Each structure stands twice: as structure tokens, then as C-alpha cells.
Amino acid sequence: MAFQFLPEISDPRSVIVLAATTAMPMVIGLFVMAGVIGAGLSTANGGALAVSAVFGRNILHRNIILPLQRRKARKLGVSVDELTVDWHVLDNRLLWWARFMLIPVMAFSAWLAYVKPEPGIMLVLAFDVVFAGCLVPLTLGIYWKKANRYGALAAVIIGSVLRLILFFSVGNPAFGIFYIPEHLAGLDTLIPPVVSLLVMVPVCLLTQKQDPPKHGVISESPTEEQVARAEHY
């Protein structure tokens, strides 16, 4: 449609907007623009809530609050279950923590939008970072019996960071060995998962004693009681 109605367009990223405002009937153009705005708001909303929930649950609750409770239990010489902690109340605070973490997440998002006002490219980059960092750990975690936590963390970190570096290196010779010419754009998406694989395999093999693999858990079905107890540990 753009080739037919907008043959001399200078910025291909404005195709949808120009097509909706110049090449379509006004009513249809309004629906197209409303759909674009709605999709953008929905994606932003879901992403912000997901990131805030991860920070609140996986980082704040699991890696700060619970370790403090374990440390307190060790000092008192009791088990975590014997502490006078209302775990139900503690778990209910997760919603509050997620809402609280939404503030810095949205502040960072606003700053990033100001610095790089290209939401389409940022959305593609977000999915690419997940692809680069998580494809290999998720795949090997299921199909390779020697996969462990250290290797997975190394693969996630290296793959994600490399994808971010390569995003800025395309067409920019200043990045040296990370430089990717414009005509080879696309390699910045394909290279990080390969490097992630090359990192995860040796790290897993070198850390088998420090962190024994737990491949058997993928075939286990925990009871409701075990799932409930996992919330506290």
C-alpha cells in the first residue's frame, strides 16, 4: 500500500500515520490510529506491570525480605517456620511492593522515551534482549541434563548485555570489534544467542560440583502444600 500511495516517503516509520491520514477514508484512518494507540498503551501497561511485579517478587521479596528472615532465624537458633512472622500478611504486601516499584520503572521509561523517542524500535529491542538472553538457558534447561543455575545466569547476562551493545554498534565504527556495518544489520539479533550458548556450556561444565544440576524437577508435579511452602522459601 505504501509503495502505491506513498512512493516518495522519506521515513518508512511514518508509513502507517501517513497512510491513515492521507490514503484512507477518515473513519477508517481514525480506527487505524486508535488501534495503534491502543496497542501501544496495552503493551506499555503490560510491560510496566510485569517488570514491577518481577522487581517486587523476585528481587525485593525473595532476595531481600526472605533472606533477612532466614538470617534472623539462624541467630535465634530456630527454623524459619518458628518465627513469629505472619507470612500471609507478608505475601499480601507483594501487591504494594509491585505498585511501589512501578514508580522507578515508569521514571526510567519516561527518561528512555525522552532520550530515544522511537517506541517501535524500543519494542523490537526489548523482545530481542529476551531472545538473546533467555533462548539458550530455557532450551538447555529442558533438554540438557548438565544445565545449572550458574551457566543459565551467565548466559542471560552475557547474551542480554551483548544485544544492547550491538544495538548501538550497527553502523557505528566507534564500537571497534562490536561494529556491524549497516548492510549486515540483523546480525546484531543473531549473534548474541550464539555467544550465550558458547558461554553457558563451559560455565555449566565447570560448576557442576558447586551447583549440581536439578534436571529432574521438570518432570515433578508438586503438591498444593509444597507450592504453598515454596512461597516462604
- Looking at this protein, which amino acid is placed at residue 138? L
Radius of gyration over alpha carbons of the chain, in Å? Answer: 23
Contacts of residue 36, defined as CB under 8 A and 6 or more positions apart, other chains included, come to 16
pLDDT at 5 over 50: yes
User: Both 111 and 125 in a single domain?
Assistant: no
User: Both 128 and 223 in a single domain?
Assistant: yes
Number of domains in the chain: 2
pLDDT at 95 over 50: yes
C-alpha–C-alpha distance, residues 128 and 163, integer Å: 7
User: Both 194 and 85 in a single domain?
Assistant: no
pLDDT at 159 over 60: yes
pLDDT at 233 over 50: no
User: Both 9 and 111 in a single domain?
Assistant: yes
pLDDT at 152 over 80: yes
Which carries the bigger pLDDT value, residue 120 or residue 159? Answer: 159
What is the domain range of residue 72?
Answer: 1-117
- Looking at this protein, which amino acid is placed at residue 19? A
pLDDT averaged over the chain?
82
Give pLDDT tens digits for 166-207: 888 888 888 888 888 888 888 888 999 999 999 999 999 999
User: Both 110 and 125 in a single domain?
Assistant: no
Residue 47: Cβ within 10 Å count: 14
pLDDT of amino acid 11: 75
**Position 229 confidence tier, pLDDT thresholds 50, 70, 90:** low
User: Both 93 and 153 in a single domain?
Assistant: no
- Looking at this protein, which amino acid is placed at residue 96? W
User: Both 46 and 155 in a single domain?
Assistant: no
pLDDT at 137 over 90: yes
User: Both 62 and 135 in a single domain?
Assistant: no
User: Both 45 and 10 in a single domain?
Assistant: yes
